[in-house]
Structure 1
Amino acid sequence: MTLWTSEAAAAATGGRTTRDFAIMGVSIDTRTIQPGDLFVALQAARDGHDFVAQALENGAAAALVSRIPEGVAPDAPLLVVPDVLAALEALGRAGRARMQGKVIAITGSVGKTSTKEMARIALTGQGVIHAAEASYNNHWGVPLTLARMPADTDFAIIEIGMNHPGEIEPLARLARPHVAMITTVAAAHLEAFGAIEGIAREKGAIFQGLQPAGHAVIPEDLPVTQTLRDCADAAGALVIGFGAHGMARPLKAETTDGVTEVRARILGETVDFSLATAGTHFVMNAVGVLAALSAAGADLDQAARRLSDWRPPLGRGAVEDLAGIRLIDDAYNSNPTSLSAGLATLARLTGGRRVAILGDMLELGPDEIAMHEAMAGDAAMAAVDLVHTAGPRMRALHQALPAARRGLHADSAAELGERIAELVTEGDIVLVKGSKGSKVSTVVDALRRTRQSTPPGERTE
């Protein structure tokens, strides 16, 4: 099915085409490009114009460029524009404008990608569903997702992220959601904001993009919940709170063998669902998702049933059995809030010694050492038998732990991975967690290698 004709793409971007073509998809990567894709020559770490010839050789229907690249014929299928990123934004804006379905936008300090996947899977069977790929949630990821959106989409789930102030609002205005959900607000990217209230205001800026009478789905039980409410009120949004006492709330959650059975009250209706995880933070996000989908007009009972098909993405809290141990792979990102949730998940699993292998939490600002040290007093830490740490920041936690709980410390995750045989024993339940930049995923790789395990899918980037 044609996604964009050359005429429609040129009209959307204000560019000129060198010939007629039909676009089936949109890509920024020659390694994964499919026949019929429009290759977008973005300038990032490398100039995408250098790869246009390769993209066309690999079957691209056309390329979006700001100049005719060297080695590419003037009559090659090109859409020529003054600025490629601005043109991608324009194409995304046009994709959103022609779509008549409902848009749900998701942001938050923790759990954006897993929650987006929850929503996508929960909507299975309810029409044409379009969702952001992987963690495509930034200044090019959001317009790319919108540009890829089929015109007949019934429900779209857009993930929106940020690293610095002022990034969320323009992306939200581009997506123009009917429902916007914030998973939580935590000390992530704190060095760019100075205080948690600044992060809350930036997350709350997503509501500025809401359609008239749009819904703001916010966590109820945070110190900054009122800040989020103020942001929603300023945008004229209808507020739905989720949490222990929210309009959407879990009534009970019982975990057995890594599967959690949940009963929840969602906007006046009671539903039952199951999640293939032991993490209560996933339970709360699922409650928020069901509220968001219901507000968008989806069938609530059907969405709740479909949640049993969801699995945490690799590196984001998935629980898997390796040869002789049980692994919680949460090596993609970390901050005090998500680490506390990971430790709570570890504490709930039974059957063996509980071992945590922790890499540095990054981008926490000037109080980062104190934040690492404070994790020694986390409520779930009492149930952890042994803690191994890696990185200069995690040294503070290592030194704060009681001797009986203090495992190995290494300057880097790679060094810890080289000592994998000393970290775990048969029967252990193992949590591996750290910020992506700490490279603690190398410990996960070492565990799988020594346990002869193949990861259950691609690591989400």
Structure 2
Amino acid sequence: MANSLYTAGSIGQIISANVIIVNDVPISTLLTDSRRIANAPEALFFALSNRRDGHQFISEAYESGVRNYVVSSKPAEPLLNANYLIVPNVLIALQTLAAHHRNQFELQVIGITGSNGKTIVKEWLYQLLVAEHNIVRSPKSYNSQIGVPLSVWNITAGNDLGIFEAGISTINEMDKLEAIIKPTVGILTHIGSAHDEGFSSRQEKVLEKLKLFKNSKLLIGHYDLLLDYQKDINPDLKQFTWSRQFNQADLYVFSETTIKGNYYLRAIYNKKEIECLVPFLDQASVENAITCWAAMLALGYSPVETDTRMEHLVPVSMRLEMKTGINDCSVIDDSYNSDIQSLEIALNFLEQQNQHPKKTLILSDIFQSGLSQEALYAQVAAMLHPEKIDRFIGVGESIQHFRDQFNIAEKHFYPDTEALLKDMARLNFNDETILLKGARNFEFERISRALVQKAHETVMEINLNALLNNLNYYKSQLQPGVKIMAMVKAFSYGSGTFEVANMLQYHKVDYLSVAYIDEGVALRQGGITLPIMVLNPEITAFDKLIEYKLQPEIYSFSLLSEFTKYLQLNDIVDYPIHLKIDTGMHRLGFEPADMDMLCDLLEVNTAVRVKSIFSHFVASDAEQHDAFTLKQIRRFEKAFRQIERTLGYQTIKHIANTSAISRWKVAQFDMVRLGIGLYGIDPSVKDTNALQPIATLKTSVSQVKKIKAGETIGYNRNGSLKKDGHIATVRIGYADGYLRAFGNGVGKMLIKGKLVPTVGNIAMDMCMLDVSDVEVKEGDEVIVFNEEQRIEELAKQIGTIPYEILTNISQRVKRVYFYE
């Protein structure tokens, strides 16, 4: 991020660019996203052609102050005072620059790859090694063809150890990452099914990953896996292996037991018995911990010292959590790590939030940056644009010492977290978005507890990264130039209003659609500026519709007449409307027989301007109804052509819903309406890896009871056990959206990885589960649905559709939003 080694001209030489240099300025920051601008005067923007052509966003970056660009073609009209580095391939240029930068430093570098566990192993190694090393590491999970070069760019002269992860999705990718990372030590983590679709076999995937270590000196990995690939590994590469089965491994784990909530491991190392206590119980964490245990021993740490450090590992949260706060605030909790790279990511997420008029950052001291304290806080201050941060609160003696660096009107500084907590009442947090960003030893979770609204223990977690993955999947299915209207009606299918809409706006969907005017008003009040179509505009709320610049669906002659009268009374002309055509749904819309009369009315109507013409498929996901779907397309084409001839101008045409986007590409026209597919549900998508469920509904156990066979359970004595056992009462009922139809064994929930059935009737606020075969205690987590126990399965259990499951989740169920 911060390097003073380069200028625009010198980088042009490194990447072999044709250059247009107006002013050969220093370059310290690399950018690939026009929405995430930092240190604009010294930034170099790479116009990558990934999902969207980065050249389209150069003007946006320019408006933010960026004047240096790597592009693939000479600009027809160069921007004033802008430097251009012209290369055949912008991504290769970025990777070439990062590889050059890596070569400027002699430091030990640990390179990590695998299917799962890369980020956790990286972060735990950081915790284990930071005491004696100045470490530079990949921020969050930056491990892609773009993420790796951006990570390696952060190496400075102060670093003596780098830890970088590398992820690949297909063949011929790892050589590029190896040239950038150049690891001296390699770690191969768990190999699973992730990205299997990009390779012809599991063997091909492993061989591709092993390319990362072709010039390394030491490789650490699972003996059982490396044994199968000995002939493919450089014979000069020293290996350190671990295994739970083979005593030939350097670290042979022969005993595993649980002791007071910790995992106790015993192993043979150097022909001696050693031990390690790990503060985790789930098997994924245990395997990652064994990998770290092996790495520490391979790097020369003693078994005793390694055990001491391993015992103090803390969970890694790579996700921002957004929660509902006190006094109408939103709290973004990133209180588990604090470094310059993850701060930039968190600030970017804060910038996306528009639901409150004020934005506050609470930031602790930053450790192990590789920079001098003065340079570090000057860089932090430069990232905090006064127009984007309204209030700054610094916690820690170092950041307090450099308080004059921060050019923000309202700023407060405290020596520690305790001092801030004592002053909370005076700070008067109200109607603002608050970002908590703190190093772990500052215990910012205490601040989070004070700021977050206390709520029902049943929680629905919304994974915004999964939502973005789903959005990008559908973008990849579109013909060039086709727009997206995202359906956010019914509280975004139960997933939230402005939280989801902000993400969609930031990632440049073209339209939003809501069911009623008040939903659109709420989005406008939450800072959403996208065009919003209202499906059911109420005549009594036309004033609100106009005031908040919402665009109505017009589906009948009476509605068209009433809206026209309102516009004329208020001297409004050319107001945008959307015409609904009924091509077979027979719910709302003008029918084919209405077209002549509709065209006659539109021809003389100056109050409205038709923004779009659309219809609604009846069964676009059902093969047995394909003939009817085709008939709907033909009816729609006939209708919009007649209307456009009358209007004398082009409109946006759209009929494709979620399932039609991939099944009926001929029906994409000018725009598609993306609904439940955004939330990870689309029966027409056969690739199980294409979409990710975005929601997890979880609750907890209130009480566990011993029940004898035949004793009745719950209302009306409908429940009982066939043999002696246990029931768990959990904190969810029909008032939360877990419908009564799930009662009496119809519904099932996950506890400790096992599906357990309901017992008796579902009550308003709770229900009971048969946990006779599971060891359960009060407070244990219970999963109602997630990626394993999917919403589609719940819908089958009670004979309904996923829409009903999602939209029935009560507003009293707290939503927590995650973003990596």
Q: If the length of structure 1 is used for normalisation, what is the TM-score? A: 0.65
**AA partner of residue 14 (structure 2):** A
Rounded Cα–Cα distance in structure 2 between residues aligned with 1:254 and 1:448: 38
Which residue of 94, 104, 126 maps to 2:100? 94
- How far did 1:178 drift? 1.0
Q: Any idea what the Cα deviations from partners look like across 1:403-457, whole Å, max 9, x if unmatched?
A: 969739xxxxxxxxxxxx999859562356539x9999x99999897542545xx
* Residues 58-77 of structure 1: pairs in structure 2 closer than 5 A: 58-60=64-66, 62-69=68-75, 72-73=78-79, 75-77=81-83
Which residue of 281, 287, 290 maps to 1:287? 290
CA contact (8 A) 1:28 1:41 kept: yes
Rounded Cα–Cα distance in structure 2 between residues aligned with 1:131 and 1:324: 36
Match of 1:84 in 2: 90
Given the alignment of the two structures, is residue 20 of structure 1 paired with residue 24 of structure 2, yes or no? yes
- How far did 1:123 drift? 2.9
**AA partner of residue 324 (structure 1):** E
Residues 202 and 80 of structure 1: CA distance in aligned 2, closer, same or farther (over 3 Å):
closer
Residues 2 and 447 of structure 1: CA distance in aligned 2, closer, same or farther (over 3 Å):
farther
Q: Any idea what the Cα deviations from partners look like across 1:160-201, whole Å, max 9, x if unmatched?
A: 122223322332243221111111122333334344333333
CA contact (8 A) 1:104 1:296 kept: no
Match of 1:429 in 2: 781
Identity of matched residues, %: 22
Match of 1:242 in 2: 242
CA contact (8 A) 2:186 2:218 kept: yes
Match of 1:304 in 2: 309
Given the alignment of the two structures, is residue 218 of structure 1 paired with residue 208 of structure 2, yes or no? no
Match of 1:31 in 2: 35
CA contact (8 A) 1:189 1:364 kept: no
Which residue of 34, 50, 59 maps to 2:56? 50
Which residue of 732, 748, 751 maps to 1:407? 748
Rounded Cα–Cα distance in structure 1 between residues aligned with 2:819 and 2:807: 11
How many residues are paired up? 377
Q: Any idea what the Cα deviations from partners look like across 1:281-333, whole Å, max 9, x if unmatched?
A: 21221221243355456798379359523424349xx9xx9843599999989
Rounded Cα–Cα distance in structure 1 between residues aligned with 2:792 and 2:43: 33
Rounded Cα–Cα distance in structure 2 between residues aligned with 1:439 and 1:68: 51
Q: Any idea what the Cα deviations from partners look like across 1:130-179, whole Å, max 9, x if unmatched?
A: 22233322222222322333244222122112222332233224322111
Q: Any idea what the Cα deviations from partners look like across 1:350-402, whole Å, max 9, x if unmatched?
A: xxxxxxxx99999689xxxxxxxxxxxxxxxxx9x9xxxxxxxxxxxxxxxxx
Rounded Cα–Cα distance in structure 2 between residues aligned with 1:171 and 1:63: 23
Rounded Cα–Cα distance in structure 2 between residues aligned with 1:162 and 1:438: 30
Q: Any idea what the Cα deviations from partners look like across 1:202-257, whole Å, max 9, x if unmatched?
A: 3333322x33xx11111134xx442243333x35311111232542355645365x
CA contact (8 A) 2:459 2:815 kept: no
**AA partner of residue 407 (structure 1):** K
CA contact (8 A) 2:99 2:179 kept: no
For structure 1, the residue ranges without an aligned partner over 5 or more in a row are 334-357, 366-382, 386-402, 409-420
Rounded Cα–Cα distance in structure 2 between residues aligned with 1:80 and 1:114: 38
Rounded Cα–Cα distance in structure 2 between residues aligned with 1:135 and 1:445: 32
CA contact (8 A) 1:126 1:298 kept: no
Match of 2:230 in 1: 229
Q: Please report the RMSD computed on the Cα atoms of aligned residues, expressed in angstroms.
A: 4.8
Rounded Cα–Cα distance in structure 1 between residues aligned with 2:269 and 2:65: 48
Given the alignment of the two structures, is residue 324 of structure 1 paired with residue 457 of structure 2, yes or no? yes
Match of 2:597 in 1: none
CA contact (8 A) 1:93 1:143 kept: yes
Rounded Cα–Cα distance in structure 2 between residues aligned with 1:20 and 1:433: 53
- How far did 1:90 drift? 0.9
- How far did 1:65 drift? 2.4
Rounded Cα–Cα distance in structure 2 between residues aligned with 1:238 and 1:448: 57
Residues 26 and 405 of structure 1: CA distance in aligned 2, closer, same or farther (over 3 Å):
farther
More displaced 10-residue stretch of structure 1: 265-274 or 288-297 = 265-274
CA contact (8 A) 2:459 2:814 kept: no
Match of 2:612 in 1: none
Given the alignment of the two structures, is residue 278 of structure 1 paired with residue 276 of structure 2, yes or no? no
Residues 423 and 70 of structure 1: CA distance in aligned 2, closer, same or farther (over 3 Å):
farther
Rounded Cα–Cα distance in structure 2 between residues aligned with 1:252 and 1:175: 35
More displaced 10-residue stretch of structure 1: 59-68 or 137-146 = 59-68
Rounded Cα–Cα distance in structure 2 between residues aligned with 1:95 and 1:137: 17
**AA partner of residue 11 (structure 1):** Q
**AA partner of residue 229 (structure 1):** Q
CA contact (8 A) 2:112 2:186 kept: yes
Which fold has the larger relative contact order, with Cα–Cα distance below 8 Å and residues 6 or more apart in sequence? 1
* Residues 335-354 of structure 1: pairs in structure 2 closer than 5 A: none
SS in structure 2 of the partner of residue 43 of structure 1: coil
Higher alpha-carbon Rg = 2
Residues 41 and 240 of structure 1: CA distance in aligned 2, closer, same or farther (over 3 Å):
same
Which residue of 9, 12, 15 maps to 2:11? 9
* Residues 252-263 of structure 1: pairs in structure 2 closer than 5 A: 252=256, 254=258, 256=260, 260-262=262-264
Match of 1:452 in 2: 814
**AA partner of residue 201 (structure 1):** L
- How far did 1:101 drift? 0.9
Rounded Cα–Cα distance in structure 2 between residues aligned with 1:235 and 1:444: 55
SS in structure 2 of the partner of residue 171 of structure 1: helix
Rounded Cα–Cα distance in structure 1 between residues aligned with 2:293 and 2:70: 38
Rounded Cα–Cα distance in structure 2 between residues aligned with 1:287 and 1:254: 15
Which residue of 105, 108, 111 maps to 2:114? 108
- How far did 1:63 drift? 2.6
Rounded Cα–Cα distance in structure 1 between residues aligned with 2:746 and 2:50: 44
Which residue of 117, 128, 134 maps to 2:123? 117
Rounded Cα–Cα distance in structure 2 between residues aligned with 1:126 and 1:254: 31
Rounded Cα–Cα distance in structure 2 between residues aligned with 1:444 and 1:219: 41
